[in-house]
Amino acid sequence: MVTINDNYLKLKAGYLFPEIARRVNAFVESNPDASIIKLGIGDVTEPLPEACREAMVKAIEEMGDRATFKGYGPEQGYAWLREKIAAQDFQARGCDIDPSEIFVSDGSKCDCGNILDILGKGNTIAVTDPVYPVYVDTNVMAGHTGDADDSGKYGGLVYLPISADNDFTAKIPTEKVDIIYLCFPNNPTGAVASKEALQAWVDYARANGSLILFDAAYEAFISDPNVPHSIYEIEGARDCAIEFRSFSKNAGFTGTRCALTVVPKTLKGKASDGSDVALWGLWNRRQSTKFNGVSYVVQRGAEAVYSEAGQAQTKALISFYMENAKIICDRLSEAGLKVYGGVNAPYVWVKTPDGMSSWDFFDKLLSLANVVGTPGSGFGAAGEGYFRISAFNSRANVNEAMDRITKNLKV
Ligand SMILES: *Cc1c(COP(=O)(O)O)cnc(C)c1O
């Protein structure tokens, strides 16, 4: 009989969101009249910007005319999109990134996992705790870890705790690690890293020959002018970092699908014969072989993000979510809760009161306010005692949820 990839058997069964659904369903069954407000999911709620929709409608019309029809496009993405990304997302911020170093894809989640195709088996891998689960699970699938222990930590991974004690940016490890996943602005904590904090990571990576996998999916939510949007704003990052970006959160493309990965041509890794090999060539080969590009229509939609109207509309979209985040922060503080994040990211990371566990706080919020959030412990052992509230929702739902919490939750 065919054999399977046993590494999949090491995965902790998708625990977090199914367990949330189970508890919500149980509550609704015994309280059929409760109207539940969900502030748990990391998905956008507001419609696509008009500029993107118009560009896609026009592109569909082009596909319906023999003279302008498009078949396969370049696997790396159309040059007109990559040029705008390079100019407006990177060069305008002083980052030395060329359009040829940008690879357009159908998602950052996919790229975060696929990047492991071009990296070796014996690397020591560091992730933060709490963490976006994709970084961990893709390494488990690739056979880069041992089994999980009772707290959900996998053998072989280096976990870097992030908490209020280290400004949620993780201490530079004392041991040598080969790959470091960093996500700023952070999901789930909403924290950002200062230029100095990122410089320390880049210096560490260059001193140790390590690779930083930098997830900047939420860069557009940064409001503080001193916070870097890209790892390439940091001196030396071209030699040690790959950056993932996405149109999912800044332009509402979670269901439309478009993202990009930057692999600088100067970035190298070691082959088993000891020679240095550019990662760009490997990623280019990987994408050209296993990927056939993002749809023309969607790339036109993404291009429209960079138009004057698109910039204004995405800015308005982000402001809307960040006003939600401010309301959540203000009202929860008013209720006596300690909150983090929510200023440069659409997530508010709430300290549970009185040392309550994340799941106990979940149950309390559900039963007393009929509001659903995400228990911090679901993102890693160090997330215990925290709770994530997402700003992705309608204003009415956010206001109603906060009214209920301030009224019913006595801290
Ligand atoms: C939402 C999100 C992404 C974006 O993923 P896509 O596949 O591009 O939709 C990437 N990283 C993090 C941490 C996210 O929360």
pLDDT classification of 14: cutoffs 50, 70, 90? low
* pLDDT band with cut points at 50, 70 and 90 for residue 195: very high
Q: Is the pLDDT of residue 63 over 70?
A: yes
pLDDT for 167 equals: 86
Q: What percentage of the chain carries pLDDT values higher than 70? A: 99
Q: Count of alpha carbons within 13 Å of 352, Cβ hemisphere only?
A: 22
Protein residue with least CA distance to atom 12, ligand 1: 217
Beta strand ranges found along 78-151 (DSSP E): 102-105, 125-129
Which helix (H) or strand (E) element contains residue 375? strand 374-375
Using the mean position of ligand 1's atoms as its centre, give its distance from the Cα of residue 60 in Å. Answer: 26
- The pLDDT score that the predictor gives to residue 12 is 82
Distance 354 CA to ligand 1 centre (A): 32
Mean pLDDT of 80-90: 98
Average pLDDT for 121-129: 97
Q: Which residue has the higher pLDDT, 347 or 15?
A: 347
Residue in 345, 357, 349, 358 with CA at minimum distance from that of residue 163 = 349
Is the distance from the beta carbon of residue 374 to the nearest atom of ligand 1 less than 6 Å? Answer: no
Portions of the chain given CATH number 3.90.1150.10: 6-47+310-408
d(CA 274, CA 205) in angstroms, rounded, equals 19
CATH of domain 6-47+310-408: 3.90.1150.10
| Helices 16-30 and 358-369, packing angle to 10 deg | 30
Structure confidence at residue 64 as a pLDDT band (50, 70, 90) = very high
- The boundaries of every CATH 3.40.640.10 domain in the chain are 52-307
Residue 303 confidence (pLDDT) above 80: yes
Measure the CA–CA gap between 75 and 106, rounded to whole angstroms: 11
Q: Is there an atom of ligand 1 within 6 Å of 211 CB?
A: no
- In terms of pLDDT, which residue wins out, 411 or 108? 108
Contacts from 135-144 at CB under 8 Å and sequence distance 24+? Answer: 135/181, 135/213, 135/215, 137/11, 138/112, 138/113, 140/7, 140/8, 140/10, 140/11, 141/5, 141/7, 141/8, 141/11, 141/113, 142/7, 142/116, 143/5, 143/7, 144/116
What digits encode the pLDDT tens for the residues 166-181?
889 899 999 999 999 9
User: For atom 11 of ligand 1, which residue has the closest CA?
Assistant: 217
* 183 CB near ligand 1 (under 6 Å): yes
User: What is the fold of 52-307?
Assistant: Aspartate Aminotransferase; domain 2 (3.40.640)
- 258: closest CA among 225, 300, 288, 218? 300
